[in-house]
Amino acid sequence: MNPQFIMDGLIAGAIIGLGAVGVTLTYSILRFSNFAHGELLSWGAYLALAVAGALGFLSAGLTKPIAPFSFGWALPISAVIAIGLTGLLALAVDALLFSSFRRRGSAIIIMVMASFGASLALRSLLEFLFTSKPAYFTKALQIAMKLGGGLRATPDQLLMLGVALVAVVTVHLLMTRTDIGRAMRAVSENPALASIAGIDVRRVIRTVWFLGAALACVAGIMSGLLIQIRPYLGHDLLLPLFAAAILGGIGSVPGAMLAGLIIGLCEALAVQAVGAEWRAAVSFVILIAVLLVRPRGLFGKAS
C-alpha cells in the first residue's frame, strides 16, 4: 500500500478538524447541531476569493507567487479580511434567526430546523452569486517535494498543515487560559448559573459564533486552495464535520481536531482500499460505530 494516503489523510483531516472544532463549540454552548456550519466554510472560501480578486485588481504585484508557494500576498491578506467577514456573517445570521428562537425558549429541534433552512438559503445564494462552476485561488502548478518514507507534499500543503496546527493550539489556549474561554466553558456547563455568576452570556454567544466562523473560514480557504472552491464545498463536508464532532466528544476542542484527523485518514485509506466513489460513506460508518459503541465520543462527558 502506498504510504501517500497518510499525507492525503492528514490534509483532509486538518480541514475536517478545523470545521469540527466550530461545530463542537456551537453545539456545546448554543446547544444545537448547526446544519448551516458547512455553509460558513463555503462562504469563507468565496469571500476570500472575492477579496483576493479585488486586491489583485488593485495591484498586480500582490498576485505574484511568494517563493515556494503557489499564491501571492493577496491570499494571506484576503484570508484575514475574509475571516472577519465570515464572522460577521455568522453574527448576522444569529441576530436575524437564532437569537429570536433563544429569546422565545424554542425547542432545540426548531433551531436545528431553522439552521437547515438557513443552510439551504446560504448555499443557493452562493450558487446564484458565483454560479456552480468550480473556482481556484491560483492557476499555478506545484511540484510535490519528497519528504522521505515515500511521502510527498507540496509547499502549500505543508503550510496549511502548519496553519491548522497553530489555529487549533490557539483555540485550545483561548479556551483553557483566558477569561472568555473560562466563561465559554461555564456557559456550556450551565447557562443559567453562569449568568447568575455575572458572566455576560450574550457576549459568550457572540464570541462562539465568531470563533466558529473564523475557523470555518480557514478550513474553507484551505480546502479551496488545495482542492477547489465550489458552492457545495461545505455541504459535502458537513457529514464528516458532525462525525468528527461526535467522535471527539461534544465540547472538546482537541477531541474534535483529533477526530477530524482520524476521519481524514480513514477516508484516505478507504479511497485506496475500496475506491474513491465510497469516500463519503466513511464518515457515516464512523458515525454509526460511535453512536453504537460510545455515544459520548472519545473525550465527551457522559450526559
Residues that bind another protein (CB under 8 A): 32-33, 35, 97, 100-101, 106-110, 112-114, 116-122, 124-125, 127-128, 131-132, 235, 238-239, 242-243, 246, 277-278, 280-281, 283-284, 287-288, 291-292, 295, 303
Q: How far apart are CA 17 and CA 258, in angstroms?
A: 7
Q: Which residue's CB is nearer to another protein, number 183 or number 243?
A: 243
Q: Give the number of other Cβ atoms within 10 Å of residue 103's Cβ.
A: 8
Q: Which residue's CB is nearer to another protein, number 166 or number 274?
A: 274
Strand partners, 229: 135
Residue 43 C-beta: closest distance to another protein, Å: 14
- Decide if 231 contacts 245 (C-beta within 8 A): no
Residue 55 C-beta: closest distance to another protein, Å: 26
Q: Which of 2, 303, 302, 14 is nearest to 158 (CA)?
A: 14
Q: Which residue's CB is nearer to another protein, number 123 or number 216?
A: 123
Residue 191 C-beta: closest distance to another protein, Å: 17
Q: Which residue's CB is nearer to another protein, number 202 or number 296?
A: 296
Query: Residue 81 burial (CB < 10 Å; 0-12/13-18/19+)?
Result: middle
Distance of CA 137 to the CA centre of its chain: 18
Residue 183 C-beta: closest distance to another protein, Å: 24
Q: Which residue's CB is nearer to another protein, number 4 or number 99?
A: 99
Show the CA angle centred on residue 123, arms to residues 283 and 218, nearest 5°. Answer: 65
Residue 290 C-beta: closest distance to another protein, Å: 10
- Decide if 271 contacts 47 (C-beta within 8 A): no
Q: How far apart are CA 213 and CA 193, in angstroms?
A: 27
Residue 134 C-beta: closest distance to another protein, Å: 14
Task: Tell me which H or E stretch contains 288.
Answer: helix 279-293
What separation in angstroms does the CA of 207 have from each of 6, 124, 139, 150, 277?
A: 34, 27, 36, 42, 38
- Decide if 36 contacts 295 (C-beta within 8 A): no
Q: Which residue's CB is nearer to another protein, number 179 or number 277?
A: 277
Three cell numbers at 205?
Answer: 454567544
Residue 33 C-beta: closest distance to another protein, Å: 4
Give me the phi and psi of 251, to 5 degrees please. 100, -10
Q: Which residue's CB is nearer to another protein, number 100 or number 190?
A: 100
Residue 182 C-beta: closest distance to another protein, Å: 25
Residues in CB range of 242: below 8 A, 6 or more apart:
20, 23, 33, 283, 287
Q: Which residue's CB is nearer to another protein, number 168 or number 241?
A: 241
Q: Is 146 helix (H, G, I), strand (E, B) or coil?
A: strand
